[in-house]
Every structure is written in structure tokens, then in C-alpha cells.
Amino acid sequence: MIPGDGIGPEVAQAAARAVDATGVSIAWEVAELNSAIIEKMGQVLPPHVIDSLERTRVGLKGPVTTPIAGGFPSVNVALRKRLDLYANVRPVRSLPGLKTRFSDVKIDMVIFRENTEDLYSGLEHEVVKDVVTSLKVITRTASLRIAHQAFRFASTTGRHKVTAIHKANIMKLADGLFLRCCREVAEVFPKIEYNELIVDNASMQLVMRPETFDILLLPNLYGDIVSDLAAGLVGGLGVVPGANIGEHHAVFEAVHGSAPDIAGKGLANPTALMLSAVMMLIHLGEHEAAARLVSAVESVYAEKLALTPDVGGSSTTTGFTDAVVAKLRA
């Protein structure tokens, strides 16, 4: 467990309570990591964090503040590179009873985002003063394995369609390679419908017809942007879970940031991290417990019990968690 900072410790504690209430026996090994620790130690990933993840191979992570336009690099990006967590998986589903602009349609999509390269490779260079280049890296290896992950998921979970999202009309070499790899993998799964959309058109279609999407397959940068856009369709970052999965490690985390403006006020919505914990339980093979936790969270929303202010309620982090735990114990 990496609680993080800002609202991280609050939502991490809430998620742990919910998981424990399912009856699954988990010994939480806490590895503290926040902006103060990073600045003090001068390392984005101090040894105690990496040692813990190398030993346990599974982590549930709260948000860690990332400075903007300066300061230390993103902890998330560093973790993904260090542990080769190449698949960022973000399910986006409508929650019962949660009023949004899209409440009249059923949204149920899963975003598969390549997690290790593209413009997030961090290869930037100031050529001369005020002229900067940033290299976009797309490789066959990374593109094939994220495509395989998406199609395998579709095949094993009864999903029917994978949509590859790109800008190959402009970036013909980089995004062209990504598309060729997606097409190659699609041929291995002939029962899964495959189509392609240019990223700007995909963004429009997501807003106009979100119910038509099933699985979205994207390079790193587009995946980051589109996953937040999709979260906005179902109520925001506070209700969308996420997973970073590699061959040997997996780190599950909420999509949202550390929200320092509401930290310590009991206003944080722990839904996203609770649903990330659901993904963790599935990864660990605890499918029955995962199903019960999803059901408990959805029941609290459907009955509008103890919801936090960001989703139209007036309850607290603890109040929401108490309601979920009560549903589990019932």
C-alpha cells in the first residue's frame, strides 16, 4: 500500500477498510511515498518503495503530487518504467443513480493505453534558447504487447469490439507502426470486431455516442487524454479506477490527483481507489470478493447513501466508506 499525499492517505485507508470487509485476508505492507519524502531523499522512487514492490509484486497506490513545469518527475511514470508496467487499464462504467449529462445511456468501456513510451519517454532537448524538441518513441515490441493485452482481455471477458485510436494520417511512421501492430494482432482474434479511429474524431464520437465504444486501444499520450475525457462521461476522476500491469508486477491506482485543497477535510471520494482495489482483487484471483465489493459500491450509489459532495451528496469520506462496509457485512 502506497498511501501517497494530499487526499491519498484518506482514500487509501477507505479502500483498505472496504477490501478487509470482503473477508479476504490481506496483510497491508505500507510504503510511505509523498512529495516531502521525495524532496528529502532526492529520489522519486526511494529504495523502501521499490524493495516492497519487488517483494510483493502488487501495489495499491494513492495519488502522489507531481510538480508542474519543474521539480521532480512523475512518480507514476517512474514506476511504470522501472517495473515495466506496460499496460494502463482503465474501465469506465456508468454508476447506478449517479446523475451526469450522459445518464440516459449505458457507458461500459475499457481503455488500454500503452504505458512506457511515446512522448512520455521524456526525451526532450533544448536545441537553442526557446527551441525545444521532444521525441515520440513508438516501437513494435511495445505496440504488439499492448494490442495483445487488449485483444486477450476482449476474448476472455466476452467483449466484442476493439477500436485502435491514432493520428497516422499525420504521424505516418510512428502512429503508422502502432496501427500495423494492432492490425497484425487483430488477425489472431478474428471473432473480435476491429476498427480504427483518428484521435480527434474518436474524441468527438466519445462525447456524441459513448455507448458505441467497447475497448479502446491507444498509444500513451492519446490514452492519457482520452481516459480523462471518458471519465468525465461517467462522473469524473473520482469514480474511475485504474491499473498498471506488467509481466511481473501490477500497481492499482485511482486516476485522480492528490487534491491538496481538500486534503484532511473528509471530503475526498474513495470510489476510484475502491474500484481500483476491485481490479487488484481480480488480479489476485479473488473474484468473489471483487464482485461483492463492486456490488456494495454500486448499491450505495443506487440508493444515494452517504455520497460525497463531488457526486451530489453531503457525506464524508468516512461516511461513504461506512456505507460500503455495511453493505458488505450485510
How distant is the alpha carbon of residue 287 from its chain centre?
19
Task: Supply 102's cell numbers.
Answer: 450522459
Is the dihedral angle over the CA atoms 221, 310, 303, 326 positive or is it negative?
positive
Question: What residues does 40 pair with on adjacent strands?
Answer: none
Please list the active-site residues: 120, 167, 200, 224
Q: Are strands 250-254 and 58-61 parallel, antiparallel or unpaired?
A: parallel
Contact 111, 136 (CB under 8 A): no
Residues 6+ apart with CB under 8 A from 205: 197, 212, 213
In degrees rounded to 5, what are phi and psi of residue 260? Answer: -60, -20
Q: What does DSSP assign to residue 166?
A: E
Question: The C-alpha cell of 271 is what?
Answer: 470510489
Look at the chain and count its residues: 330
Picking from 241, 283, 298, 226, the residue whose alpha carbon sits closest to that of residue 11 is 241
Q: What does the alpha-carbon distance between residue 320 and residue 13 come to, in Å, rounded to a whole number?
A: 12
